[in-house]
Amino acid sequence: MSSRQDLYPSRQQAEPAWMERQDPVVYTQDRAEAPLAPELIAQFERDGYMVIPELFCAAEVAAMSAELERLRNDPAVLASDKAIREPQSGALRSLFEIHCHGGLFARLASDARLAGLARFILGGDVYIHQSRMNLKPGFAGKEFYWHSDFETWHVEDGMPRMRALSASILLTDNDSNNGPLMLVPGSHRHYIGCVGKTPKSHYQYSLRRQEFGVPDDVSLSRMVGRYGIDTAIGPAGSVVFFDCNTLHGSNSNITPAPRNNLFFVFNHVENRLQAPFCDQPPRPAFIAQREPVPPLEVQPRTNAPDSA
Amino acid sequence: MSSRQDLYPSRQQAEPAWMERQDPVVYTQDRAEAPLAPELIAQFERDGYMVIPELFCAAEVAAMSAELERLRNDPAVLASDKAIREPQSGALRSLFEIHCHGGLFARLASDARLAGLARFILGGDVYIHQSRMNLKPGFAGKEFYWHSDFETWHVEDGMPRMRALSASILLTDNDSNNGPLMLVPGSHRHYIGCVGKTPKSHYQYSLRRQEFGVPDDVSLSRMVGRYGIDTAIGPAGSVVFFDCNTLHGSNSNITPAPRNNLFFVFNHVENRLQAPFCDQPPRPAFIAQREPVPPLEVQPRTNAPDSA
């Protein structure tokens, strides 16, 4: 390990450690320039997330769902390392790097409604750090345990600062019964240093069932006791934006209704990845973009499927 | 197998079979005698369940919770067959036959608020078919998959008709996030004959993870598409009453808040168990009372803990 500073140490101590966030949440000062109502930006800053109902219209959602179905049924896709299966059933759980092959999902990554907002919140040029589609099937969708994305991106990928956010596009209606995203509002202002050393090739199973880099029970109880739990629910086409350090997770889904989402993670160009903050090699590029890819050129909102 | 009639065949065919319920839901005709508002009885009849908020007061809930803690920490209890553990963590998931050792839970079974209502709905003398406490711990509570209790009680225990109901006392607040009971309102009026033959000693693992006697995906989608899903939520002390044939289940619970409940199943004395409707021996007595125990003598509501 070099002598560079680690602002957010984790998985290095025997006891959990809390510290305060050392970075802004919203980087652009002039809220008058916001592409959304200033109240929403203030809500994002306070809670670490916001839900924008039906940001994409039904026709756009239909086009995205068709593309998702095409990918999930492509044998080459299923056989790739980018496809993560459910531990027991073997069903597709996540597919990574969905924005790199042209087509609809590539255009979506640059859409003003996502990339334009990310530019505002993160204060300048951004690129896609990670993209994926998540499928929580009906009847047998498994839970995602509580975690801060930033903790993993920092330790395992070498993301130095908190200057990234996720946009999750709901492709199916999310209600309180089908395992919606749960978030702890306000948790993004704290950083929980986790216990346990990162094991070798951790990502190969952490994407199926995370065991390291998850907060301890006491810290979780304390955080939830202080801030409570919000649920990100809404009709298909809604988008959940959340800060890289907001604690989130979801319960299982035994209802017949699947819960499919697209995820795009935007990172600021001045926050590009360094060497990981652990003694393991970096994770593969399809999980964490390490190359100096050019910033996204924000495209005016397009109305798929006409433009597809 | 004898030539006796099987009104509700299941696990005997290669394809799922739907049939209509052949028994009443509420057996007492004169609703003016109901111990609850007639509207609530009508709701139970229509939906197959009802939630009565805070039927037990905080002091009573505290006494029940203390008794639950005493039992869950008793090594003799934990070592018994009546204790069912979580498949992965080994934590206590259910403890059966909690009403048979005198004390608070025995008195609770006869309490007018439970047994009196059961007498009214089932139309006469009742006894406890099964009792248990269910613990869905925080952080790691697992799901209970969709099922009709009656399907199992009929096939594996030999309960001939639909003339039983469950009372679930919430000992912790149940909200939409901590894996509350989900029910399909109206599902009690249909019976889904399930596919798959009952395996030997099925109960030894079905109580941990049920695989036989669960409806197929198509039937579940059809039922939920027709009736939707309700969630039984409420503060501690609330009671969920549900018919023996109402489809129900619950998702996992990753929140820090545990979800503990007591269950008492009341059966009418004219509906006592026969030989199972499958070719396996009956399940143990702690899961299904087969002896001709005397009917419950309904006790006026007591206000624990004074009377404890």
User: Which residue of chain A comes nearest to B221, CA vs CA?
Assistant: A256
Distance from CA of A142 to the nearest CA of B (A): 8
Report, as an integer, the average pLDDT of A162-189.
96
Per CB-CB distance under 8 Å, the chain B contacts of A252 are 142-143, 251-252
Go through chain A and tell me how many residues it has.
Answer: 308
In a domain, A95, yes or no: yes
pLDDT tens string B152-200 = 999 999 999 999 999 999 999 999 999 999 999 999 999 999 988 777 7
Per CB-CB distance under 8 Å, the chain A contacts of B220 are 139, 256
In a domain, A190, yes or no: yes
In a domain, A199, yes or no: yes
- Asked if B193 and B290 touch (Cβ cutoff 8 Å), the reply is no
**Does the beta-carbon distance from B254 to A176 stay under 8 Å?**
no
- pLDDT category at B25 given cuts 50, 70, 90 is very high
Closest Cβ opposite residue B229 in set A143, A177, A252: A177
Distance (Å, whole) CA B284 – CA B287: 6
DSSP assignment letter at A76: H
What is the SS3 assignment for B213-275? CCCCHHHHHHHHHHHCCEEECECCCCEEEEECCCCEEECCECCCCCEEEEEEEEEEHHHCCCC
pLDDT tens string B38-72 = 999 999 999 999 999 999 999 999 999 999 999 98
- Write the CB contacts of A127 (distance below 8 Å, at least 6 apart in sequence): A266, A267, A269, A289, A293, A294, A295, A296
Q: Which of residues 151-190 of B touch A (CB under 8 A)?
A: 176-177, 179, 182
- pLDDT category at A305 given cuts 50, 70, 90 is very low
The pLDDT, as a whole number, for residue A209 is 56
Residue among A223, A247, A255 with most chain B CBs within 10 A, to mutate: A255
Q: Is B215 on the interface with A (CB under 8 A)?
A: no
pLDDT reading at B244 higher than 60: yes
pLDDT tens string A209-240 = 556 788 999 999 999 999 999 999 999 999 99
Give backbone dihedrals phi and psi of B304, rounded to 5 degrees, phi first: -60, 155
pLDDT reading at A265 higher than 90: yes
Percent of the residues in chain A that have a pLDDT greater than 90, as a whole number: 73
The pLDDT, as a whole number, for residue B214 is 87
pLDDT tens string B249-281 = 999 999 999 899 999 999 999 999 999 999 899
Q: Is A89 on the interface with B (CB under 8 A)?
A: no
The pLDDT, as a whole number, for residue A230 is 97
Tally A–B CB contacts below 8 A: 65
The pLDDT, as a whole number, for residue A307 is 41
Residue A275 CA from chain centroid, whole number: 21
pLDDT reading at B302 higher than 80: no
The pLDDT, as a whole number, for residue B305 is 47
The pLDDT, as a whole number, for residue B197 is 78
Expressed as residue numbers, the domain containing A112 is 19-25+39-257+267-306
In a domain, A89, yes or no: yes
pLDDT tens string B137-156 = 888 888 889 999 999 999 99
The pLDDT, as a whole number, for residue A208 is 55
pTM above 0.90, yes or no: no
One-letter identity of residue A263:
F
The pLDDT, as a whole number, for residue B306 is 44
pLDDT reading at A304 higher than 70: no
User: Which residue of chain B comes nearest to A176, CA vs CA?
Assistant: B176
pLDDT tens string A69-97 = 999 888 888 889 999 887 777 778 899 99
Q: Is B217 on the interface with A (CB under 8 A)?
A: yes
Which of the pair, A46 or A305, is modelled with greater confidence? A46
pLDDT reading at B1 higher than 60: no
Per CB-CB distance under 8 Å, the chain A contacts of B176 are 176-177, 231
In a domain, B282, yes or no: yes
- pLDDT category at A24 given cuts 50, 70, 90 is very high
SS3 of residue A141 by DSSP: strand
Percent of the residues in chain A that have a pLDDT greater than 70, as a whole number: 93
pLDDT reading at A286 higher than 90: yes
The pLDDT, as a whole number, for residue A141 is 81
Q: CA-based angle B134:B251:B178, to the nearest 5?
A: 70
**Does the beta-carbon distance from B176 to A177 stay under 8 Å?**
yes
The pLDDT, as a whole number, for residue B303 is 54
Quote ipTM for the complex: 0.85
The pLDDT, as a whole number, for residue B300 is 86
Tally of domains within chain A: 1
Closest Cβ opposite residue B231 in set A176, A250, A254: A176
pLDDT reading at B299 higher than 60: yes
Distance from CA of A299 to the nearest CA of B (A): 38
Q: Is A220 on the interface with B (CB under 8 A)?
A: yes
Q: What is the DSSP string of A146-203?
A: EE-HHHHHHHHH---SS-EEEEEEESS-B-TTS--EEE-TTGGGEEEEPBSPPPTTTH
Longest dimension (CA), chain A: 56
The pLDDT, as a whole number, for residue A16 is 87
Please report, for the domain that includes residue B251, its CATH number.
2.60.120.620
- Asked if B272 and B91 touch (Cβ cutoff 8 Å), the reply is no
Per CB-CB distance under 8 Å, the chain A contacts of B217 are 138-139, 256
Distance from CA of B251 to the nearest CA of A (A): 5
Per CB-CB distance under 8 Å, the chain A contacts of B177 are 176, 182, 229, 231, 251
Lowest mean pLDDT among A7-16, B34-43, B84-93, B157-166: B84-93
Per CB-CB distance under 8 Å, the chain A contacts of B179 are 251
- Asked if A307 and A108 touch (Cβ cutoff 8 Å), the reply is no
SS3 of residue B105 by DSSP: helix
Which of the pair, B144 or A181, is modelled with greater confidence? A181
In a domain, A33, yes or no: no
Per CB-CB distance under 8 Å, the chain A contacts of B225 are 256
Q: Taking Cα atoms as reference points, which of A250, A235, A255 lies closest to residue B231?
A: A255
- pLDDT category at A143 given cuts 50, 70, 90 is confident
pLDDT reading at B17 higher than 90: no
**Does the beta-carbon distance from A182 to B255 stay under 8 Å?**
yes
Which of the pair, B202 or B105, is modelled with greater confidence? B105
SS3 of residue B66 by DSSP: helix
**Does the beta-carbon distance from A254 to B249 stay under 8 Å?**
yes
The pLDDT, as a whole number, for residue B199 is 73
Q: Which of residues 234-273 of A touch B (CB under 8 A)?
A: 249-257
Q: What is the mean pLDDT of chain B?
A: 91
The pLDDT, as a whole number, for residue A308 is 38
- pLDDT category at B307 given cuts 50, 70, 90 is very low
Per CB-CB distance under 8 Å, the chain A contacts of B255 are 182, 224, 229
Report, as an integer, the average pLDDT of B72-98.
86
Q: Which residues pair with A94 in a beta bridge?
A: A84, A134
Residue among B142, B143, B145, B247 with most chain A CBs within 10 A, to mutate: B143
In a domain, A34, yes or no: no
The pLDDT, as a whole number, for residue B127 is 98
Report, as an integer, the average pLDDT of A140-150.
90
Alpha helices by DSSP H, listed for chain B, are 38-47, 58-72, 75-79, 103-110, 117-122, 149-157, 203-206, 217-227
In a domain, B13, yes or no: no
Distance from CA of A261 to the nearest CA of B (A): 19
User: Which residue of chain B comes nearest to A142, CA vs CA?
Assistant: B252
pLDDT reading at A33 higher than 70: yes
